[in-house]
Amino acid sequence: MDFLQFLTPMYLFLIFSGTLVGIIFGAIPGMTATMAVAVCLPLTYSLGLDNGLALLLGLYVGGISGGLVPAILLGIPGTPSSITTCFDGYPMAQRGEGEKALRIGIISSLVGGLISLAALFLFAPALAEFAIKFSYVEKFLIILFALTVMAALSDNMLLGIFSGFLGIFVSLIGVYDVTEGGNGQYRLIPPGTEYWLEGGFSLLPVLIGLFGLATILEGAEAGMPKGQSLKDIKVGEHSRFRWSVFKGQVVNLVRSSSIGTFVGILPGVGGSAASILSYTAAKTASKDPDSFGKGNPAGIIASESGNNGLTGGALVPLLSLGIPGDSTTALLIGAFTLQGIQVGPLFIGNNPGTWDSMIVAMLLANLVMFGLMYFAIRWLAMVVAVPKHILFPVILMMCVIGAYTINYGIMFDVWTLLIFGIVGWLAPKLKLEIAPFIIGFILGPAAEIYFVKSLESFGTLSIFFTKSWIALLLWALIIGSVVGSAMLARRKAQGQGAAA
């Protein structure tokens, strides 16, 4: 019962308030868990390590989870890792099942968080040992596997893949950053724009431009639709949430949570890849893959359990090797260094008290997240009842604030938001597909770094096939996903032909 010593009123208050603030940050498009942790990091020095970590872990869990709210209700991913939640959550909300989709997402988030926490608690050192077996080669293949979802998400496979490659191309604009192992040189930057494009286009402004601003522009073009009334929120029996929706989804839940945890333990692969990979796996394994992207609850389950599965996973390399698993846990290192504590391979053994405190904080943060969000659903779901002429300006303002603050006040990020808002509005008219584009944009930089580093390190393309058994396994998954997508596209084409 040693853990009871942590449960002071201050500790509990910090977890509660951290989770609440994290959910709010996650729910505002453009604001992320990373930003929430960055803002509150300086507070941790005065709070002490255990209390400081309780606050930050609450923010982390809340921030990752809160992203599902705008993803489902507005079609705008609150955080990059909730991008795939949009694909099925928003169509459900549009057909009056927003509340149901939210409940599915929140429960999946809780399950993902708890499974990854169990993995962290029971297997952290062993998982860290396994993680270091993944070199640049294996990491590139993981990203390649995640990229195969571009084909699966496309309405027209050729255009979808083209859009995806366009997304990769745009993501590579800017400096080849030395902090990522690059040579610090500029590439793909039009002459005269180096000052603004040196760092490339930031992910968050691109994301909320394509999904948020573009929706507003489309609404403006079509004329302001009337908002749904509160009567519409009180959904019919058929669309009410029932636990039976999880029937047959246990495998999806466990698999997606495990994928999220696994991606978390691999430093540098990135949080967004967790939900994309989980979604890809769920779609590939589904008997009805065609329904994904059209409001299939299995898509939300995969995405949300995947991205919350990341939370525990990303702490594995941090606490076992001193290496952060994602951008938010990279900030958590600051809490340790501000207290003069080094995290490394001996951290858990040398600091059992802090380790226990973190595990308890993660557990409580997940439960508080569930409690806060699950019981607030009725009020959250009413967002769609707000008249669009009020809702859209508020969303626009939040998007602009989020874009401006994401990199601590860079005006070019606001221009990026506007540019990609217009791109998102024009894309359907030009037959470009936004979902593959954004997947390419998110995964492009990591794919480039790992591909180049693999070649620099091993000097031959054959290394991608000969490096290890893990590489071969990943190739099998990549081929399986590509073949599955091709067969799906063929079936769809045949179906359309028969219908014609």
Partner 1 sequence: MKLTRRTILAAACSAAVLAQPMAAAAQDLPRNVRLVIGSNSTGGDTYQAAAIVAEALSERLGVNIKVDAVGPSEAFKAVGRDKRGTTIMLHHDQSYLANLYGVPGNPDPFEGYVVGPSLTINPGNAYLVPKNSPYQTMDDVLNAAAEGTRVRVAIQPGGVSEIGYTALRNAARMNAAGSEENIVPVNTGSQSDKNQAMFDGLADIINGSIQANEQFAQLPDDDQKAMRFLWITATPEVLQQGPEAGVGNLTRADMLQYAAPQTSVKLTETEDFTFDKRFFLIYNKDMDPAQMQTVDDALAAIYQKGDIQKRMLEAFFIPAYLPMTESAELLKGKRDAYGAIIEALKAPQ
Subset of residues 295 to 324 that bind partner 1, contact rule: CB under 8 A: 317, 321-324
Q: For residues 229 and 457, which CB has a smaller minimum distance to partner 1 in the complex?
A: 457
* Residue 195 binds to partner 1 (criterion: CB under 8 A): yes
Q: Which residues are CB-contacts of 63 (< 8 A; sequence separation ≥ 6)?
A: 22, 23, 25, 26, 32, 33, 34, 35, 36, 37, 79, 328
Q: Are 47 and 55 in contact (CB under 8 A)?
A: yes
Q: Is 45 left (phi over 0), alpha (psi -120 to 50) or beta?
A: alpha
Q: Which two tokens stand for residue 59?
A: 């923010």
Cα–Cα distances in angstroms (integers) from residue 395 to residues 28, 29, 122, 176, 249, in the given order: 9, 8, 42, 33, 33
Contacting partner 1 (CB under 8 A), which of 248, 456, 493, 494? 456
* Residue 2 binds to partner 1 (criterion: CB under 8 A): no
Q: Which residues are CB-contacts of 309 (< 8 A; sequence separation ≥ 6)?
A: 112, 113, 115, 116, 256, 257, 258, 259, 260, 261, 263, 264, 274, 278
Q: For residues 38 and 382, which CB has a smaller minimum distance to partner 1 in the complex?
A: 38
Contacting partner 1 (CB under 8 A), which of 4, 9, 184, 243? 184
Q: Are 305 and 256 in contact (CB under 8 A)?
A: yes
State the binding string over 70-109 for partner 1 (x if CB under 8 A, else -).
----------------------------------------
Contacting partner 1 (CB under 8 A), which of 5, 8, 183, 229? 183
Q: For residues 248 and 353, which CB has a smaller minimum distance to partner 1 in the complex?
A: 353
* Residue 181 binds to partner 1 (criterion: CB under 8 A): yes
* Residue 457 binds to partner 1 (criterion: CB under 8 A): yes
* Residue 41 binds to partner 1 (criterion: CB under 8 A): yes
Buried b (16+ CB within 10 A) or exposed e, 246-284: beebeebbebbbbbbbbbbbbbbbbbbbbbbbbbbbbbb
Side-chain half-sphere of 295: how many Cα atoms within 13 Å?
12
State the binding string over 334-363 for partner 1 (x if CB under 8 A, else -).
x-xxx-x-x-xxxx----------------
Q: Return the range that interacts with partner 1 (CB under 8 A); candidates 93-101, 180-188, 225-233, 249-257.
A: 180-188
Q: 3-state DSSP call for residue 175? A: strand
* Residue 265 binds to partner 1 (criterion: CB under 8 A): no
For tokens 């996973």, the residue is 313
* Residue 191 binds to partner 1 (criterion: CB under 8 A): no
* Residue 66 binds to partner 1 (criterion: CB under 8 A): no
Subset of residues 360 to 389 that bind partner 1, contact rule: CB under 8 A: none
Q: Return the range that interacts with partner 1 (CB under 8 A); candidates 150-158, 291-299, 329-337, 422-430.
A: 329-337
* Residue 38 binds to partner 1 (criterion: CB under 8 A): yes
First vs last C-alpha separation in the chain? 68
Which residues contribute to the site for partner 1 (CB under 8 A)?
38, 41-42, 45, 132, 135, 175, 177-186, 194-195, 198-199, 267-268, 317, 321-324, 330-334, 336-338, 340, 342, 344-347, 407-410, 449, 453, 456-457
